[in-house]
Amino acid sequence: MKAKALKIASAAVLVTAGITAGMVMAKPYEADSAATPGTVNDPVVTKSYVDEQIAKLAANGIGNGSSGNDGSGTSNAGSSNTSTEAVKLEVVEIPLGKTLMAGAGAEVVVRVGKAVAYSTTTDGLSDLTEGIDIKSGKDVPKNHLIWFPRDGRGIQGHPDETAPLTVLVKGSYTLK
């Protein structure tokens, strides 16, 4: 009977020692995984600091976008956008005989109609879908992402077209 009680007592001591050792060893791991607020690993910032940083980004031209064209042949692409909202795709209808002149960095996708590339230089438009350069006067394929690396380039309706051209535009542009 004494031997059985001794075995139970020994087992209880070993289990208690194991649990205690586990708790002591686990504390350093808990401290490493949960950073203390306000430290380098978990800085605390105020709303005013975040607003200030967003304003700085907007002042440096990040987040600027186009609100499109008001129909007068000019666009308000130079206005500063201080919101954190991303630049959105805008559906633009290009009337017959007009050319959409895209700003540097603008992106266009032709949706309805046949389009032709326009450039004031020998360089063309970047077709990011196919990875080719579209020279001035060449057809612009539908549903391809076209990027305008510089000003002075655009898209116009094909001379055979009888209906307006519909495109999606992301970025600044003017209609001429």
pLDDT at 108: 92
Q: Residue 67: how many CB atoms within 10 A of its CB?
A: 14
Check pLDDT > 80 for residue 64: no
pLDDT classification of 33: cutoffs 50, 70, 90: low
pTM of the model: 0.50
pLDDT digits (tens, 9 = 90+) for 91-139: 999 888 889 998 888 899 999 989 998 988 888 888 888 888 889 888 8
pLDDT classification of 86: cutoffs 50, 70, 90: low
As a whole number, mean pLDDT of residues 140-167 equals: 88
pLDDT classification of 81: cutoffs 50, 70, 90: very low
> What letters, b where the CB count within 10 A reaches 16 and e where it falls short, cover 8-38?
eeeeeeeeeeeeeeeeeeeeeeeeeeeeeee
